Amino acid sequence: MLRRLRPLLLGMLCVAALPAVAQAEGSDAQARAWLDRMITARHALNYDGTFVFQYGGQMGAMRIVHGAAADGERERLVALTGAAREILRNHGQTTCILPDARSVMVEPARAGGQTLPHEILSSADGLDKHYTFGLGGQDRVVGREAQIVTVLPRDAYRYGYRLWLDKQHALMLKSELVDERGRTLETLMFTALKVLDHVPNDALHPAISGQEFSWHHKALQPESAKPSSRWRVTRLPVGFVLRVAEEQKRDEHDVEHLVYSDGLASVSVFIEPADHDEDELLGPSRLGAVHAFGRRIGKRQVLVVGEVPAATVEMMAKSLQAAGG
């Protein structure tokens, strides 16, 4: 079962417990201000760094180079461990170069879609209905003074975060995904970081052009169009809405992909023809902080997967039905 789950998670990325941090009384507004600064810093600063991330008992490392200019942002991520890959983001377009597969995937950036590992949220607006914000203590990460900010869920259907933000720039230096008991499920942390006045153009160019590879382009529905699907989830955690509905091609089969999000957590729903193989995904499964639940609906195989508690994906999977049903 997990053998089939791992490729799905890679495609979506296209990459010791600590005690819960006590929140200071009246710190909500201050925490929100830190988060707003963090979002601005991620887009407005020039920086070059290396971060490591731990999930599901595995560890990986990536280099990130980010450039901000008057005409927009440019970003390059390079995998330093595991399968070779480079991810380029340039003026709203994402290009993923996969040398081992000799392929390149190109798609527009989109709101509500899967974020890259160093991203947490694009806006704090509306999140206070489903999360509480607080200030933790002070710490040091990669030699820089940091302020800890907590983002904790108000219900049992989503996870929370502890964020270490650079006190000078508010850039995120470390993050921990935490469960309802404050236990760390995943960690991301910079091990080297330089904030720059200017990023050289060659630092933002891929090491491999991929011109001789197979290129796959994905179109994006107009932003004005409301996502629609032949399927719908009838029981959702409060705040989750349909952000993306698209058709994908996998192993010569059409796969419908839905993304539900509350602005921070997201859950993907895959609907494809059932193949009746021995490795069919039925019932619950888990890979680190990622939970999945599979079921059969007629001649369709359904898989609901996301970095959310097991109860969330099970509830969504069991309440999925054809839109006319």
Q: Are 181 and 233 members of one domain?
A: no
Query: Residue 267 maps to which CATH number?
Result: 3.30.200.100
Q: Are 54 and 98 members of one domain?
A: yes
Residue 45, in any domain of the structure: yes
Residue 210, in any domain of the structure: no
Is the sign of the CA dihedral 305, 89, 109, 264 positive or negative? positive
Average pLDDT, stretch 260-283?
Answer: 85
Whether the CB-CB separation of 163 and 148 falls below 8 Å is answered with yes
The predicted pLDDT at position 323 comes to 78
Dist CA 54 CA 190 (whole Å): 12
For the beta carbon of residue 87, count every other beta carbon within 10 angstroms.
23
Q: Of 121-125, 272-276, 314-318, which range is least confident?
A: 121-125
Instruction: Specify the pTM.
Output: 0.85
Average pLDDT, stretch 258-281?
Answer: 85
Q: Are 234 and 131 members of one domain?
A: no
What is the SS3 assignment for 154?
coil
User: Which of 174, 204, 234 lies at the terminal end of a domain, its last residue?
Assistant: 204
Q: Are 196 and 263 members of one domain?
A: no
The tens digit of pLDDT for each residue in 113-156 reads 445 555 666 667 778 899 999 999 999 999 999 999 999 999 99
- Which structural domain range is residue 268 located in? 222-322
What's the pLDDT band for 267 if we cut at 50, 70, 90? very high
Residue 1, in any domain of the structure: no
What's the pLDDT band for 252 if we cut at 50, 70, 90? low
Q: Please give the mean pLDDT across all residues of the chain.
A: 84
Q: Are 51 and 160 members of one domain?
A: yes
Q: Are 180 and 240 members of one domain?
A: no
Residue 12, in any domain of the structure: no
Of all residues in the chain, the percent with pLDDT exceeding 90 is: 61
Residue 11, in any domain of the structure: no
What is the SS3 assignment for 9?
helix
Dist CA 174 CA 183 (whole Å): 16
Query: Residue 178 maps to which CATH number?
Result: 2.50.20.10
86 has a pLDDT exceeding 90: yes
Residue of higher predicted confidence among 175 and 124: 175
User: Which of 171, 204, 237 lies at the terminal end of a domain, its last residue?
Assistant: 204
String of DSSP letters for 114-142: PPPTT---S--TTGGGTEEEEEEEEEEET
Q: Are 58 and 161 members of one domain?
A: yes
Q: Are 305 and 246 members of one domain?
A: yes
Q: Are 233 and 282 members of one domain?
A: yes
Q: Are 59 and 164 members of one domain?
A: yes
Q: Are 239 and 291 members of one domain?
A: yes
Which residues is 209 bridged to in the sheet? Answer: none
The tens digit of pLDDT for each residue in 183-233 reads 999 999 999 999 999 999 999 999 988 888 999 887 655 554 566 678 999
The tens digit of pLDDT for each residue in 32-74 reads 999 999 999 999 999 999 999 997 778 999 999 999 988 889 9
Residue 2, in any domain of the structure: no
- Using CA atoms, how far residue 151 sits from 53, 96, 148, in Å, is 19, 30, 10
Pairing, β 144-153 against β 131-141: antiparallel
Residue 51, in any domain of the structure: yes
The predicted pLDDT at position 293 comes to 97
Residue 232, in any domain of the structure: yes
The predicted pLDDT at position 55 comes to 79
What's the pLDDT band for 112 if we cut at 50, 70, 90? very low
Q: Are 113 and 259 members of one domain?
A: no
Q: How many domains does the chain have?
A: 2
User: Which of 204, 231, 250 lies at the terminal end of a domain, its last residue?
Assistant: 204
